[in-house]
Amino acid sequence: MAFDLDLIKKVYSEFEQKVNDVRQLLGRPLTFTEKILYAHLTNPATRAYDRGVDYVDFAPDRVAMQDATAQMALLQFMQAGRSKVAVPSTVHCDHLIMAETGAEADLRQAKTESKEVFDFLASVSNKYGIGFWKPGAGIIHQVVLENYAFPGGMMIGTDSHTVNAGGLGMVAIGVGGADACDVMAGLPWELKMPKLIGVKLTGKLNGWTAPKDVILKVAGILTVKGGTGCIVEYFGEGATSMSCTGKGTICNMGAEIGATTSTFGYDDSMSRYLKATGREEIAAAADAIAQHLTADPEVYANPEQYFDQLIEINLDELEPHLNGPFTPDLATPISKMKEVAAANDWPTKIEVGLIGSCTNSSYEDISRAVSLAKQVNEKGLKTKAEFTITPGSEQVRYTIERDGFLDTFDKIGATVFANACGPCIGMWNRVGAEKKEKNTIVHSFNRNFAKRADGNPNTYAFVASPEVVTALAIAGDLTFNPLTDTLINEKGETVKLDPPTGEELPSRGFAVDDPGFQAPAADGSGVQVIVDPASKRLQLLDPFAPWEGTDLKGLKLLIKAKGKCTTDHISMAGPWLKFRGHLDNISNNMLIGAVNFFNDKTDNIKNQLTGEYGPVPATQRAYKAAGIGSIVVGDENYGEGSSREHAAMEPRHLGVRVVLVKSFARIHETNLKKQGMLALTFADKDDYEKIQEDDVVDIMGLTGFAPGKPLTLVLHHSDGTTDNIQANHTYNDQQIEWFKAGGALNIIRREFAA
């Protein structure tokens, strides 16, 4: 169905030569990450690229898209003028399925509700040579790991957890739909050469500790910003002794530390996984060049010489962690949770434990969780919290059903949701969430920003391994430490949970009846793609207007966002997902989650034309109607979170011209540039304080817009005074052309038309 063996053989046939050339050019041993990066340059390197400085063009091997982001990516691709995608690409229907009562009913409901979108994606895929994974087939990253990821490959995907494929030795990077569109159109993909963080894992996982705890620990060390602009490479005996899917979990949550991606060198665990998932030929091909599919030996012997930063974690001593609430980097070792929860007044009664998602739904994960679920009956316990499972793919679901795991979960009253994102993306119709009561949940997903899972800002969500989630759900108590604490069973006896056990891979092999894959037409020229002009879900795109060629004057301050402003705050998920293919409709969620610096409220800002306070989108529409541009001001790491380009397209569509912040998350900054916006940073971060509520701003120096040259902003305050401040930017020559043309897509279309 699926993997393209010829493509992989071609990559491998050239890999050794390319790696040798680069080693000679750089005159030193290479990390595995560098081997993949340099082997995927559009043009052979002529010098060592400066990490964290140089922009470089890459030629990724694959593109993966999920249904929410694919809509906009493909609407953009349709504008690019090609008859077929230039590289193997797939679409995965996983984000539009609401978790409510259980897999079957929820899937049926989604297929009815989102029929128009699924039909659109299926027909565009069919027409342009894209593999299509139907709703219910599984979550993009699990399906990619099972079918497409390969050691030494490079992939981009329109989802920030594309990085999951690093578990199989890829450099896999989350991008916006505009980037995916470029690569599918056959254009180079540009990235600033990342810095390298090495994580040396000594010792071995044991007992209650799982791969998840490695990344929870790393997140605690590096924080949500610590990996920005970096690729994390894991190595050491702790890495090689871990399963391939465990490596996937670690790489998956690399997105939570802002890392460009993470990866592991090729080893036996990857070979085992490739074979178990029907890819013996790829395992054999990888084995043949195995020494090139990891770092040169000198690198791991003296890592401090080759990485920009080095972290060492001893897995023998690593404790299970719980990260949260409200941010994935607030790491608490399980033995400390009692005191930390008390000190912070966190609600300790667990209402729901949720396992699965793209992060943690491997066969190994589920088997270890089931070993605890079994103990509920064996030890006469009763599960105190609700418990849900979201399998990552139909292959995993089918296999765990065959092996009796779902029966065991059923016996503890668990609900099995569809093989889809569900609660992880806020697609969870949780009973009572609208009451906004303070409560605690614990899950094995990756993100726990406020409102992420159920829309309730008072849900305290903690992230942990599936086995810890299961144990805590059984106990119903956040402060329960299964390593040391006991439980009282239904007979009043004191019992203790045994540590989890599991199987890395199913001893009887994976099985599946219908994996849910639909191959595209060999010749798609006759396939019709239909978009109803009256549709509320889909809207064909109109090109954005080019830059007018002058400085931008008289921009109204739309909002000065305070504190964390993630892509969820800028373009909220949950119920808004259904408008991902309709730019005008989804723009009604623009920045509604951002906190207004001047009144600490969300979605309540001053309209400078009327002096009245109102919602952000309506205020911006009023400026647009009056032909007035605006500026958004933000804090640190603005746009962290996901790759959704809607967070850039919505402000662009509604007439915001500039986003000025203390610092950007990488993907969002690039997305703004792609859409023809000005993405600027304060040269002096203290100037953030100078921005006042009634400010009108001029952007000066645009006629001389050039790489590395700051721009001047004139702030006109309402009392008649002005402040001149400097703003930096990271635009290179090509990105300045995007700005001038009104967006990158305008340039692509021009090139194909020429």
Residues near ligand F3S (CB under 6 A): 94, 139-141, 159, 161, 357-358, 421, 424-425, 445-446
The residue whose two tokens read 């930096």 is 728
- Pair 248, 50: CB distance under 8 Å: no
For residue 95, indicate whether it is catalytic: yes
For residue 125, indicate whether it is catalytic: no
Catalytic residue among 62, 92, 95, 666: 95
Catalytic residue among 89, 642, 652, 657: 642
- Pair 171, 39: CB distance under 8 Å: no
Beta-carbon-side half-sphere exposure of residue 97 (alpha carbons within 13 Å): 29
Shortest distance in whole angstroms from residue 186 CB to ligand F3S: 26
In angstroms, the CA 503 to CA 612 distance is 61
- CB nearer to ligand F3S: give 270 or 424: 424
- Pair 455, 574: CB distance under 8 Å: yes
Backbone angles phi, psi at 259, to 5 degrees: -65, 145
Shortest distance in whole angstroms from residue 159 CB to ligand F3S: 5
For residue 695, indicate whether it is catalytic: no
In angstroms, the CA 472 to CA 198 distance is 32
Shortest distance in whole angstroms from residue 447 CB to ligand F3S: 6
Shortest distance in whole angstroms from residue 270 CB to ligand F3S: 21
End-to-end CA distance of the chain: 36
Beta-carbon-side half-sphere exposure of residue 715 (alpha carbons within 13 Å): 21
- CB nearer to ligand F3S: give 449 or 731: 449
Shortest distance in whole angstroms from residue 255 CB to ligand F3S: 8
Shortest distance in whole angstroms from residue 403 CB to ligand F3S: 23
- Pair 36, 165: CB distance under 8 Å: no
Shortest distance in whole angstroms from residue 752 CB to ligand F3S: 31
- CB nearer to ligand F3S: give 141 or 653: 141
Two tokens, residue 372: 């605890």
Shortest distance in whole angstroms from residue 163 CB to ligand F3S: 10
Q: Given the DSSP bridges, would you call strands 696-700 and 630-634 parallel, antiparallel or unpaired? A: unpaired
Q: Given the DSSP bridges, would you call strands 195-202 and 230-235 parallel, antiparallel or unpaired? A: parallel
Q: Give the residue from 275, 276, 220, 214 showing the smallest Cα distance to 247.
A: 214
Shortest distance in whole angstroms from residue 451 CB to ligand F3S: 14
Q: Mapping DSSP to helix (H, G, I), strand (E, B) and coil, where does residue 100 land?
A: coil
In sequence order, the 6+-apart residues with CB closer than 8 A to the CB of 722 are 714, 715, 716
Helix residue ranges per DSSP H, 379-534: 394-402, 405-411, 466-475
- CB nearer to ligand F3S: give 361 or 630: 361
- CB nearer to ligand F3S: give 161 or 195: 161
- Pair 83, 404: CB distance under 8 Å: no
Bridge partners for 386 per DSSP: 352
- CB nearer to ligand F3S: give 265 or 328: 328
In angstroms, the CA 341 to CA 472 distance is 14
Backbone angles phi, psi at 156, to 5 degrees: -115, 155
Shortest distance in whole angstroms from residue 40 CB to ligand F3S: 24
DSSP string spanning 30-84?
A: --HHHHHHHHTBSS--SSPPPTTT-EEEE--SEEEEEHHHHHHHHHHHHTTT-SS
Catalytic residue among 292, 321, 582, 644: 644
**Degrees, nearest 5: CA angle 632-636-637:** 95
For residue 635, indicate whether it is catalytic: no
In angstroms, the CA 31 to CA 33 distance is 5
Catalytic residue among 61, 67, 106, 159: 159
- CB nearer to ligand F3S: give 66 or 470: 66
Shortest distance in whole angstroms from residue 275 CB to ligand F3S: 25
Shortest distance in whole angstroms from residue 244 CB to ligand F3S: 18
- CB nearer to ligand F3S: give 265 or 639: 639
- Residue 289 CA, distance from chain mean position: 30
In angstroms, the CA 26 to CA 24 distance is 6
Residue 1 burial class via C-beta count within 10 angstroms: exposed 0-12, middle 13-18, buried 19 and up: exposed
In sequence order, the 6+-apart residues with CB closer than 8 A to the CB of 105 are none
Catalytic residue among 61, 94, 267, 403: 94
For residue 159, indicate whether it is catalytic: yes
- CB nearer to ligand F3S: give 421 or 557: 421
694 DSSP 8-state letter = T
**3-state SS, one letter per residue, for 197-264:** EEEEEECCCCCCCCHHHHHHHHHHHHCCCCCECEEEEEECHHHHCCCHHHHHHHHHHHHHHCECEEEE
For residue 403, indicate whether it is catalytic: no
Shortest distance in whole angstroms from residue 692 CB to ligand F3S: 38
- CB nearer to ligand F3S: give 162 or 228: 162
- CB nearer to ligand F3S: give 249 or 446: 446
H-helix or E-strand spanning residue 343:
helix 337-344
3-state helix, strand, coil in the chain (%, to 5): 40, 20, 40
Residue 304 burial class via C-beta count within 10 angstroms: exposed 0-12, middle 13-18, buried 19 and up: exposed
Catalytic residue among 430, 443, 447, 657: 447
- CB nearer to ligand F3S: give 147 or 608: 147
Return the active site residues. Answer: 94-95, 159, 447, 642, 644
